[in-house]
Structure 1
């Protein structure tokens, strides 16, 4: 399987100018090809776009494209061709997942990238050589497991530079301590697990307030001015701090869960519908639930684990995990529940995580546990709801 290894590097002044020229050429080639695709009745493929790029280098308007390596320019056309294929496959329902939009024009203020294949770079003695850029020495936080097949030079919105290598990794088998685990994701507590453990997400409130203050300041400043550009960079750096903090937290948590459990069960959350709540949309967006799910799924494949996702319509928070008694839908402000059937008082999130594990392992909510002689009822009556709840305001 393929994986990405990313490292930060600090270019010299000459390399900054060369990279800025490279990013500009890649951006111009993409925008010119996209303009041609929008004007054509039939979408031109990669071969036609590549031939047109060769012809444009011979003109006076685009002759400066020959000053940079041709490998990133050709890769930019390949990416545009793939983007259009994904767009049409998504529109025709041939591609799984969420809908993919049409390719858009690249902007100078957004993050910039340029991809080099094997013919445009080499790695030797801890240094990376890029064609017509020079030798770069990144900060090697870890060793590459194999020879990379490609490398992408990235400049984010906060003026940070990275090298992203695509390498081939072999799946490793690690003996798990536990058989299975169910995870219930939330806002106040990021993850509550069926074994009783809880993971609290970092506090992004300080940086988030500063971002909102700077965004109001940015809206009042004149466009394309130097002061507005400085404010934009400050906002981008704060966004990077939040993103780096969240990524570090999610990586450590997902690695711990995947290493210790053979079967990982999550609930399919309707995040796009939940963020429509204007009171919780900003907090939900900062949590990174989808990113956590993707990390668990990728690491489960790497370490030979079984990753499962249960249906979002499963009533995990409406059923007692001990006896299967169903008390019905309750308000989000109710955090602890006293079951009418077995008399067990338990936390709402812990109960949901246990039910998620049961459903993921193939059990039913109304199935009696072995050795349990408690009476199981499908639905609780309306008049009994006030007796089974203990309200704790957030």
Structure 2
């Protein structure tokens, strides 16, 4: 099983210049190869693209500087373009799972930059990593590599931070699970409600987003291609990185805790693309990172030897009592608790949904429906009855 281990690096000024030259060469090879694919009636093969965009281009005056960097990252750039086309064609034919993949795009200088080295282009030397024609860089080793890496990627993000990302082989971790299964209902105000009653609040990103809006207003007033505008752009990128790092840290810790303690993890297949069309909730939904949490749980389930399941989005988890199985119908988002007239138990909306997700995921979703009901339930409660629905604060 393969995994990525990423470390922060602080290259010297000379190494930063060499890396900038390397990133530029990788970007130019990608853009040249993509332009050839667009001009040709039939897409050239990877070997033909390498021959034209690298080998023949080095012999011209316009691209002679491609010889100043290692040839391995340039070849990997063409290989990555071939993978991007393969994913695009498979997505068009319906062979690829997940969301649709678009046509490959040209790379920009202002976006994050990367260059990948195979075996032969890098080597581990003590506390440092030697990169071909770059030199030895010393990562901040926050943890040891479990095995010898098969490749390493040098990354520079929009905030001018440098990273080394290693691909290594890892063995599954054997940790005894405390619980057999758990259902998780994802939300906005409360990020996750577990079937065991545990609730997890998401961190607040409000102050950082206010700072981003202020900097974006400042950026809009500044002259294009000026030093002050470029400085503001980097400040915006750093603030976005703070938000992303805060979210990533929260999701990693929560997913590790959930997967390590439970044998079966069950989530609901949410229609996030449809939910973000609600202009009142789109920003709050986009900030949560539900899909990233699902991907982390799925990946860590393989690592810990757990079972990961996803139930259908059409399951009425919020419309059915988790105790007696009575269906009370669709509820507005402002309704946070329901008093079931069949069993007389007041159900919290999110906890009830989490327990139903756990039941459906483990195959016990219809057990409660076979129970006999001792009383009739009317659609509208009479005046002397306790209200069937209790409204609480909006989610």
Fold conserved (TM > 0.5)? yes
Where in structure 1 do 4 or more consecutive aligned residues deviate above 6 Å?
A: none
Equivalent residue number for residue 289 of structure 1? 290
Equivalents in 2 of 1:366, 1:348: separation in Å?
20
Deviation of 1:221 (Å): 2.2
Deviation of 1:384 (Å): 3.8
Deviation of 1:368 (Å): 4.6
Equivalent residue number for residue 71 of structure 1? 72
Equivalents in 2 of 1:5, 1:259: separation in Å?
20
CA distances 1:357-376 after superposition (whole Å, capped 9, x unpaired) = 0000001246358xx76548
Equivalents in 2 of 1:147, 1:44: separation in Å?
34
Equivalents in 2 of 1:281, 1:366: separation in Å?
36
Q: 1:74 to 1:4 in 2, by over 3 A?
A: same
Tell me if the contact between 1:87 and 1:100 (Cα under 8 Å) persists in the aligned partners.
yes
CA distances 1:81-137 after superposition (whole Å, capped 9, x unpaired) = 111111111112222221110000000000000000001000121210000000000
Tell me if the contact between 1:268 and 1:310 (Cα under 8 Å) persists in the aligned partners.
yes
Equivalent residue number for residue 30 of structure 1? 30
Deviation of 1:172 (Å): 1.9
Equivalent residue number for residue 383 of structure 1? 380
Deviation of 1:187 (Å): 0.2
Instruction: Judge which range, 217-226 or 341-350, deviates more.
Output: 217-226
Equivalents in 1 of 2:104, 2:192: separation in Å?
36
Equivalent residue number for residue 5 of structure 1? 5
Tell me if the contact between 2:189 and 2:201 (Cα under 8 Å) persists in the aligned partners.
yes
Equivalents in 1 of 2:149, 2:35: separation in Å?
33
Unpaired stretches in structure 2, ≥5 consecutive residues = none
Equivalent residue number for residue 19 of structure 1? 19
Q: 1:18 to 1:337 in 2, by over 3 A?
A: same
Equivalents in 2 of 1:310, 1:325: separation in Å?
20
Q: 1:343 to 1:109 in 2, by over 3 A?
A: same
Equivalents in 1 of 2:37, 2:28: separation in Å?
14
Q: 1:155 to 1:376 in 2, by over 3 A?
A: farther
Equivalent residue number for residue 310 of structure 1? 311
Instruction: Judge which range, 171-180 or 142-151, deviates more.
Output: 171-180
Tell me if the contact between 1:323 and 1:376 (Cα under 8 Å) persists in the aligned partners.
no
Equivalents in 2 of 1:367, 1:193: separation in Å?
20
Deviation of 1:346 (Å): 2.2
Q: Does 1:170 align with 2:171?
A: yes
TM-score (norm 2): 0.96
Tell me if the contact between 1:184 and 1:349 (Cα under 8 Å) persists in the aligned partners.
yes
Deviation of 1:381 (Å): 5.0
Q: Does 1:100 align with 2:101?
A: yes
2:152 counterpart SS class: strand
Deviation of 1:76 (Å): 0.1
Equivalent residue number for residue 114 of structure 1? 115
1:123 counterpart SS class: strand
Equivalents in 2 of 1:108, 1:270: separation in Å?
34
- Pairing 1:1-394 to 2, within 5 Å after superposition: 1-52=1-52, 53-365=54-366, 367-368=368-369, 374-375=373-374, 382-384=379-381, 387-394=387-394
1:6 counterpart SS class: strand
Q: 1:338 to 1:152 in 2, by over 3 A?
A: same
RMSD (CA atoms): 1.5
Equivalents in 2 of 1:375, 1:173: separation in Å?
47
Q: 1:375 to 1:58 in 2, by over 3 A?
A: farther
Tell me if the contact between 1:319 and 1:365 (Cα under 8 Å) persists in the aligned partners.
no
Tell me if the contact between 2:10 and 2:162 (Cα under 8 Å) persists in the aligned partners.
yes
Deviation of 1:25 (Å): 0.5
Deviation of 1:32 (Å): 0.8
Equivalents in 2 of 1:241, 1:192: separation in Å?
26
Tell me if the contact between 1:154 and 1:164 (Cα under 8 Å) persists in the aligned partners.
yes
Tell me if the contact between 2:122 and 2:129 (Cα under 8 Å) persists in the aligned partners.
yes
Equivalents in 1 of 2:374, 2:355: separation in Å?
19
Size of the aligned set, in residue pairs, is: 390
Equivalents in 2 of 1:381, 1:74: separation in Å?
70
Equivalents in 2 of 1:11, 1:315: separation in Å?
54
Instruction: Judge which range, 223-232 or 59-68, deviates more.
Output: 223-232
1:302 counterpart SS class: helix
Tell me if the contact between 2:326 and 2:369 (Cα under 8 Å) persists in the aligned partners.
no
2:163 counterpart SS class: strand
